[in-house]
Homo-oligomer: A and B are copies of this chain.
Amino acid sequence: MSAFVNRRDLDFLLYEMLEIDSLTAHPRYAQHDRTTFDALLDLAQNLAEKHYLPLAAKLDANEPKFRDGKVDIIPEARAAIQAYADAGMFACGLDEDAGGLQLPYIITALANGMFSGANISLANYSFLTAANANLISTFCSDDQKRRFLPAMLDGRCFGTMCLSEPQAGSSLSDITTQAVPRGDGRYDLSGSKMWISGGDHELSDNILHLVLAKIPGGAPGVKGISLFVVPRYRVNEDASLGDWNNVTLAGLNHKMGQRGTVNCLLNFGEGGACIGEIVGEPGKGLSYMFHMMNEARILVGHGAVVLGQAGYLHSLEYARERPQGRHPQNKDPLSAQVPILEHADVKRMLLAQKAWAEGGQALVAFAALLVDGQKVAKTEAERAELGLLLDLLTPIVKSWPSEYCLEANKYAIQVLGGYGYTRDYPVERYYRDNRLNHIHEGAYGIQGIDLLARKVRAKDGAAVDILLGRVQATIAQARSVPGLSREADDLEAAIAALRNTTQVVAACDDLNLGLANATLYLDAFGQVVVGWLWLWQATIAMRQPEGAEQGDGFYGGKLAACRYFFRYELPGAVQKFALVAALDDTCLAFRP
């Protein structure tokens, strides 16, 4: 079995649960079929295994350092990303007319997940670049695309997103970076940007920074924010590289995990002109950036999932091979020890990891398919519906795996015991790497407010209705097979709690009070969504003919994980909804 991916599970998600074959009925994807989908997944798995996985521990132990005026990263890193580029991975998700393969997003997302599972520090460089290229391809002028895109698609130029500033992390309306018109249609950038992943390095010939800045005289707050392409080296008319553009590395951040991804403070225009080109129209920077951010949020959730999955697979293998102790009723010290897989508490930790990691994978895959679904929607109404659903789910896709797949990694360490706490095994690295995911691309608390204050209220709660309609359909399906009625009842009760809580908060006049427990609401909402996805999976498993991977097999495992989720996880969500619905002010009233 692979160290970082369970292909059987991906096949199940794609072809048995989400039935993505149907995408190819649409002209947009007509040139593809399961063969080309699987070919990309195979390619990604092989590349990740060959080029990314072997560097993971070394890259972690040798984080980027500033030496002789440059950021020094282990030399194998550039070659590995080049292999990714040479295989066409940067371009595979783009449309054909943009030089891509026009593959569904769900396929490229799962393919890219292989690289994160193998080596997330290294994968970050290419994912930021791909997201960046995607934004340029969507919002930039043809001339800008001509000069910027080709180098990104073949890996010569990487991308970053520059939002935060040292004094403004989560509060973008308070950024102070300025963009002053030069009179030639371009702008002089000046200011500092913090937490820039991939901000400075020698892995690529150039770096394109997508920078949020304010044009003097613009509107206050977020409405005054515009977006600029700011290259590290200026890009000439013929797309060749020009002079250095005065983007200065002001300091490296030394992180707990994801150490191989250089992260830094950048100063723009400190010692000379730093020239940027505006993307689209002034004042719309944040909306363009959110196009990238929303994709980045799915990627963050997916990163958390694949780390959870990698930890699960590693601890499962360890538990199979490590003999230790005996069953509680066996008092004979001379009898053989059993593999720790036999101990109930180890099983619990493995089953929990499976429920979280595979549940998270289903969540991410479902969300990714919504991206594709909008592109192939037959009507505007269908497109709008899928868009609302994706908007609703985005904070959950970002946050739920960041919480529960981190917990999964905590369990992976526990299964390995002392060994899991050492750097000789990868699980402690997964745990350190995963801790970032609740922080970047919108912190946990921000996601909770996004869900409760905006997403569930949009269009009079239309998105919640759409989601719960789908959940109800699954509940009805579950009732049609034997053995899942208890889970169907539990999920029905949970969505009633969700609905009630949402209404109570919406009716609360005191915004501070209503939102005080938004993070708990987000958590509980995510548990309901993943519970739904587990019931969906269990319904499919229940319908298999007797003997088809039943019992100890693949479908038996799905049923066990579903049962675990409903008995051990979902009840907590109902309690959290009750607390939110009570408009409990314990935390809000606290004066530390």
Q: Which residues on A are within 8 Å of B, measured CB to CB?
A: 164, 167-171, 173-174, 194-195, 220-222, 253-257, 316, 319-320, 323-329, 333-334, 337, 341, 343-348, 350-351, 354, 410, 413-414, 417-418, 420-424, 428, 431-432, 435-436, 438-440, 443-445, 448-449, 453, 511-512, 515-519, 551-552, 556-557, 560, 563-564, 567-568, 571-572, 575, 579, 584, 586-592
Contacts and interface: CB of A to CB of B under 8 A. Distances in A.
A174 B333 contact: yes
Given A516-B344, A575-B572, A351 B586 contact: yes
Contact of A344 (B257, B333, B515, B567): B515
29 contacts: A169-B417, A170-B324, A170-B325, A174-B324, A195-B418, A222-B333, A254-B424, A255-B421, A255-B428, A256-B432, A327-B512, A329-B512, A344-B588, A345-B444, A345-B518, A345-B587, A346-B445, A347-B587, A348-B587, A410-B435, A413-B439, A417-B439, A417-B443, A428-B435, A557-B592, A560-B591, A564-B587, A564-B590, A572-B575
A328 B452 CA distance: 12
A167 B319 CA distance: 14
A377 to B, nearest CB: 34
A470 to B, nearest CB: 26
Contact of A512 (B168, B328, B591): B328
Contacts of A348: 516-517, 519, 587
A577 to B, nearest CB: 12
Contacts of A516: 344-345, 348
Contacts of A453: 328
Copies of this chain in its oligomeric complex: 2
Given A255-B428, A257-B421, A418-B439, 16 more contacts: A171-B325, A171-B326, A174-B325, A220-B333, A253-B418, A254-B422, A255-B422, A256-B421, A327-B512, A328-B453, A344-B588, A351-B590, A417-B443, A428-B435, A551-B591, A563-B586
A174 B589 CA distance: 54
Contacts of A174: 324-325, 333, 337
Nearest to A448: B345
A109 B233 CA distance: 60
Nearest to A256: B428
B586 A575 contact: no
A412 B428 CA distance: 19
A344 B587 contact: yes
B575 A417 contact: no
A176 to B, nearest CB: 12
Most chain B beta-carbon neighbours within 10 Å: one of A333, A354, A579: A333
Nearest to A519: B345
A327 B511 CA distance: 9
Q: Considering the complex of A and B, which 8 residue pairs feature the smallest CB-CB distances, nearest first?
A: A221-B333, A345-B445, A348-B587, A344-B516, A256-B428, A171-B325, A552-B591, A173-B333
Contacts of A515: 328, 344
Nearest to A224: B333
Contacts of A444: 345, 414
Contacts of A194: 418
Contacts of A423: 254-256
A560 B572 contact: no
